[in-house]
Amino acid sequence: MSDKLLSVQGLQTCFQTGGGTVRAVDGVDFDIHSGETFALLGESGCGKSMTALSILRLVPQPAGRITAGKVLLDGQDLLALPEHAMRDVRGKRIAMIFQEPMTSLNPVLTIGMQIGETVERHLGLRGKALRDRVIALLDDVGIPDPAQRYGEYPHQLSGGMKQRVMIAIALAGEPQLLIADEPTTALDVTIQAQILDLLRKLQRERGMAMLLITHDLGVVAGIADRVAVMYAGHIVEQADRAAFFADPKHPYSRKLFESLPTMGKRDRQLAVIKGSVPSLAREFRACRFEDRCDFAWQTCRDTAPRWLAVGPEHHARCHLNDPDIAKPAPRAAAPAPAIQQAPRATAGDVLVDINDLQVFFPIHKGLFKRTAGHVRAVDGVSLQLRVGRTLALVGESGCGKTTAGKGLLQLIRPTAGTVHYRGNDLTQIGARRMRPYRADLQIIFQDPYSSMNPRMMVADIIEEGMLAQRIGRTDVERQARIDELLTQVGLSPEAKRRYPHEFSGGQRQRICIARALAVNPKLIVCDEPTSALDVSVQAQILNLLKRLQAELGLSYLFITHNLAVVEYLADEVAVMYLGRIVERGTVADVMQNPCHPYTQALLSAIPKIDTATGREIIKLEGDLPSPSNPPRGCHFHPRCPMAMEVCRGNYPERTTLSDTHTTHCYLYR
Amino acid sequence: MLALIALAGVAVVGMIALRGVKPVFLWTDVLIYLLVLVIAGVVIYSRQHEHLRAPWRRVWRSRAGMAALVVLGAYVLVGLLDSIHFREPLPPVDRSESSGHSVEVLSVFDKLAEPLRLRVEKTYSAPLAAQLYAREMQELPDGTQQRVYPRLQYGGAHLNDPETERSADIVVTASAGLMKGLGIAVLVSLAIVMLLARHYRTTPASALGRIMRAQTAMAWHVVLLTLAIILVGTMVLIELSGKYHVFGTDKVGQDVLYQTLKSIRTGLVIGTLTTLIMLPFAISLGVMAGYFRGWIDDVIQYIYTTLNSIPGVLLIAASILALQVYMANHPEAFETVADRADARLLFLCMILGITSWTGLCRLLRGESLKLRELDYLQAAAAFGVSHARILSRHILPNVMHIVLIIVVLDFSGLVLAEAVLSYVGVGVDPSMISWGNMINSARLEMAREPIVWWSLAAAFVFMFILVLAANVFSDAVRDAFDPRLRAN
């Protein structure tokens, strides 16, 4: 390895809050060498973003303060520099890109001006030279027609393009170190693959070091040279990539791997980390992971573990690896309990039959709001939901999957098509006749923060549906049912006298599930219920959903973009692209034998942990077209690597590949 | 509640003391009683619901909030005492029965402040002065004429030589008031401590200790301190006003302190009743427009855009002039001057309410537009919850903080608007005492040489304290009710 570029030593950042001092970063040490990618991995709230901000001295003032440590860049301590000298470091020597490209750009300035600002500051270029440099940068980050894009505004670009512009701004000062804080979390998988590829390419070409901050093990596997795992404000394990993925030493790292959903774990529960991340406001004397660790014994509760070498370039902070400490006899980790799938007589019967569902949103223009066109959010979707089974609806953002779910529930009135349930076409009956069916068809939302009224207590939130559906005759009866529901989703009945903001994301999602269960539904539409949660919490929710399905015989329409979850949970899969279903089949059909080029690309774009297999990523060019003006012929042909002449003509008819597997593609006609 | 009981008691005692009086129920009085009843109802309802009691407990703990509440309470007490009206019987002209009632409508407050009301000087006099503010020709005993500052008829009339005795006398009187005030404050505090001791089942000494160390559920130490300050201030004012005009007199020699206190009712009425009239429009229309969208939204938007495009002052002037014409044509509908003034005040409240709901309505529409897209409304729709229930359970509670802020901002704005309208001549009736009328007349007083500053200053100070207290209290309430602020 080459010399050390950045060396962080004993960094500590504290926040003064009403509840005391919060040590967001508490003694972090690591080195980054020139030209390498160093990944900082951790769940939300572990202090990884704050570490990055501390390196650049951008900690929010005056609440936050760097209280100890050194940040040496080429041997020079950044924490000792005066503020004006720091401005030459930021952007010029260390640059940063952020998670949310939508809010990182100023909407009233052209992207050329925003990149030019940084170029001018750090390279001192003016006029034509400046413009040429900016266009060269846009070209470097893979933006087509850079000369034309120069004068465009952020709203004219897609999310992926904006992230490319952000990268161009970061590169403008030709930094030695690039800090990327969750650079792809807000993007779809195919776009994520593009951006990761771009970062990898730029790093290779420029010999730049990169500090990558992420919660996604897959991203780490794909791009990092070395990995550090952060937990509760400090680093618990550090290793090079191969060693880390081959044999993680810290129990927390191992749990992270075990809680990932995969195909192989389908018939058993996912491993979960019990409890929750400890509050950083308290002083730690012992191991920080002790109360959640399966292996913890008395020593873990008394002394803090040392930072020990457990292999070449591999360190961990755990007593299990300390040769000087007597360990109790290893407890055999109990295998994750299998799920009792009670076979039901009716399982597999069609519960809801959706036929050719269309949801169009009119585009109004002019003074009299004339309808000038339609956004074809859902454009002819047919699905059958079966009793006790899970159908996963997969697609990238903007493909219409959420709209399809709401169209099924009649939360948005469909434009055309039928939804048959218990012999009725739900699209034809009025609100009054729809009301009794509402109890059977429920929904869980993505964002557990906005899905509950902040001014209602948990008991009132759960009771609302029961009152509307006249379930439970007396208040006593309803309160007893609420207690039962809360216990069923793994919360204490005392929770009902509290308000939603007092709960964590995972607990809120449990409350939302309890609310849906309160009316005894047959089908629950799960709209990305785990995508806002950390991996270990996601495992808890997936376990809960699976258990409830086994116990209550529920059907799920599981809307997601996360294919790993699909593999674990779903029975059938439908892949959606631009308002239409392009491929449908059982989970085995679609995940192991994908036929449609889009499905193939989607599957290959997921960052995988087992990089050894040497699979090839099918890179899709460009972005999802606008659903208000879909391309002629096959919607996918402009991005399809296998597009033929016939694809430009008409939309392909359905091809049946097997009893359960169908697709819309000319390759199989 | 306590204020209500005290008020009823005062009313009964007053009626017994003044046998034969004829109670008068002005329109605004009735509406004020209604408002008091509504507030009492809300209090009783909140006491029975834990999730409403909990935030109020946080209000009771807030020191600034409780201090403001005590100040507001003092204002409201004066306002309520001034809202019980009656007409006194005329002294029988001959031996025959019932000679009818006086045309002058008085309130309980007028009766309590009778000396202030009746001791009228000739014209301007400065605060605590013993002489008029203007020189007058006076004939001296030796027959010569001289321009001197004549002695006041009431203010400092007991002094032989104001030049030498006045300052000392003021200090002595004020000190007496101070001592009395402190005495009463101590008595009241003792009574409260005893009651609290019974409530906590401890000795009064330990209850006092808990209060001093701020260990009570309510910020009693602040309440007692604020109460003591108000009581001492009141007693000093009472003592001084027995001998002097504390805030001076106005052009026609009326006591400015009396006017300022009378203005409290006008200010409270304009501030509260206008809001009361405006709120139903603003809330129902704003929330409906945002929630239902479509043609309902279009209609409501057209209504408030149209209303907004008419200059408010013109609309108010036109309505008030129309009312004046109606009053002139129908003198039989208004028995007394007070009746007329009151009708005009109520009408002003209504027209101000009708012109001022658009701002709040627009804000609520925007907020509802945002709320209706949130997941919990979708969840409620997925349960088949009715529109009315969604509006009342989900949207209304989540826009109430906006309503609260706007109401308090409007309260001060309305008190000021009254002053502006009086300036244009379309405000409250000129016979009605209000801060607006006081400030309006100060226009000429400030142009005078030497200037007469006390009317304006008195009106300003009382208005300022009221608006400040209302703002501080509403801040405390909003902080307590916002669940997002409660996380820490």
pLDDT at A341: 59
Which of B295, B367, B368, B376 to mutate against chain A (most A CBs within 10 Å)? Answer: B376
pLDDT at A135: 92
Task: Give the residue among B394, B388, B361 at the shortest CA–CA distance from B290.
Answer: B361
Chain B hits for A438, Cβ within 8 Å = 382-384
Name the average pLDDT for chain A: 87
pLDDT at B93: 66
Strands of A37-41's sheet, edge to edge? A94-97, A177-181, A209-214, A37-41, A226-231, A234-240, A314-316, A308-311
Distance CA A98, CA A77 (A): 24
B212-237 pLDDT, tens digit per residue, is 887 788 888 899 999 999 999 999 99
Task: Report the run of H or E that residue A316 belongs to, with start and end.
Answer: strand A314-316
A503-515 pLDDT, tens digit per residue, is 888 889 999 999 9
In chain B, where the domains are located: 258-487
Which of A409, A464, A515 to mutate against chain B (most B CBs within 10 Å)? Answer: A464
* CATH superfamily, with its number, for domain B258-487: MetI-like (1.10.3720.10)
B82-141 pLDDT, tens digit per residue, is 998 888 887 766 655 556 777 788 888 888 888 888 888 888 888 888 888 888 888 878
Chain B hits for A464, Cβ within 8 Å = 380, 383, 385, 393
A478-490 pLDDT, tens digit per residue, is 999 999 999 988 8
Is pLDDT larger for residue A490 or for residue A620?
Answer: A490
Task: Give the residue among A401, A391, A393, A395 at the shortest CA–CA distance from A359.
Answer: A401
Distance spanning both ends of chain B, measured CA to CA: 33
Kindly report the nearest CA distance between residue B116 and chain A, in angstroms.
50
pLDDT at A461: 92
Q: In this complex, is the C-beta atom of A442 within 8 Å of any C-beta atom belonging to chain B?
A: yes
pLDDT at B488: 39
* pLDDT level of residue A614 (50, 70, 90 thresholds): low
SS3 of A452, please? coil
A624-659 pLDDT, tens digit per residue, is 788 888 888 899 988 888 888 888 888 898 889 888
Task: Report the run of H or E that residue A361 belongs to, with start and end.
Answer: strand A350-365
Chain B hits for A406, Cβ within 8 Å = 378
Strands of A555-560's sheet, edge to edge? A441-444, A523-527, A555-560, A390-394, A572-577, A580-586, A662-663, A655-656
Kindly report the nearest CA distance between residue B215 and chain A, in angstroms.
20
Q: Across the interface, do A411 and B381 touch by the CB < 8 Å criterion?
A: yes
Q: Across the interface, do A442 and B380 touch by the CB < 8 Å criterion?
A: no
Distance CA B89, CA B128 (A): 35
Residue in B with minimal Cα distance to A519:
B383
3-state per-residue secondary structure call for A516-559: HHCCCCCEEEEECCCCCCCHHHHHHHHHHHHHHHHHHCCEEEEE
Task: Give the residue among A93, A39, A124 at the shortest CA–CA distance from A208.
Answer: A93
SS3 of A577, please? strand
Q: In this complex, is the C-beta atom of A411 within 8 Å of any C-beta atom belonging to chain B?
A: yes
The average pLDDT across B409-419 equals 77
Distance CA A33, CA B145 (A): 105
B13-39 pLDDT, tens digit per residue, is 665 555 677 888 888 999 998 888 988
pLDDT at A332 over 60: no
pLDDT at B486 over 70: no
Q: In this complex, is the C-beta atom of B93 within 8 Å of any C-beta atom belonging to chain A?
A: no
Is pLDDT larger for residue A210 or for residue A363?
Answer: A210
3-state per-residue secondary structure call for A6-36: EEEEEEEEEEEECCEEEEEEEEEEEEEECCC
Q: What is the DSSP string of A115-164?
A: HHHHHHHHH---HHHHHHHHHHHHHHTT-SSHHHHTT--GGGS-HHHHHH
Distance CA A184, CA B370 (A): 28
Q: In this complex, is the C-beta atom of A531 within 8 Å of any C-beta atom belonging to chain B?
A: no
ipTM over 0.90: no
Could you tell me if B106 and B85 are in contact, meaning their C-beta atoms sit under 8 angstroms apart?
yes
pLDDT at B487 over 70: no
pLDDT at A374: 85
The sign of the CA dihedral B204, B207, B211, B212 is positive
Q: In this complex, is the C-beta atom of A413 within 8 Å of any C-beta atom belonging to chain B?
A: no
SS3 of B148, please? strand
Task: Give the residue among A352, A319, A502, A372 at the shortest CA–CA distance from A425.
Answer: A352
Distance CA A27, CA A8 (A): 10
**Tokens describing residue B138:** 């006076």
Q: In this complex, is the C-beta atom of A366 within 8 Å of any C-beta atom belonging to chain B?
A: no
User: How many other C-beta atoms can be found within 10 angstroms of the C-beta atom of residue A326?
Assistant: 8
Name the average pLDDT for chain B: 85
Q: With 0-12 CB in 10 A as exposed, 13-18 as middle and 19+ as buried, what is A664?
A: buried
Q: Which of B383, B389, B398 sits opposite A455 (nearest CB)?
A: B398
pLDDT at A1 over 50: no
Pairing status of strand A580-586 against strand A662-663 = antiparallel
Which of A368, A455, A501 to mutate against chain B (most B CBs within 10 Å)? Answer: A455
pLDDT at A117 over 60: yes
Task: Give the residue among A111, A107, A137 at the shortest CA–CA distance from A125.
Answer: A137
A245-276 pLDDT, tens digit per residue, is 888 989 999 988 888 888 778 888 888 887 77
pLDDT at A352: 92
Q: In this complex, is the C-beta atom of B398 within 8 Å of any C-beta atom belonging to chain A?
A: yes
Q: Across the interface, do B483 and A501 touch by the CB < 8 Å criterion?
A: yes
Please state which of the ranges A306-315, A391-400, B130-139, B374-383 shows the lowest mean pLDDT. Answer: B130-139
- Beta bridge mates, A23: A14
Please state which of the ranges A14-23, A153-162, A215-224 shows the lowest mean pLDDT. Answer: A14-23
Tally the residues of chain B: 488
B window 276-315, beta carbon within 8 A of A: none
Q: In this complex, is the C-beta atom of B486 within 8 Å of any C-beta atom belonging to chain A?
A: yes
Q: Across the interface, do B378 and A441 touch by the CB < 8 Å criterion?
A: no
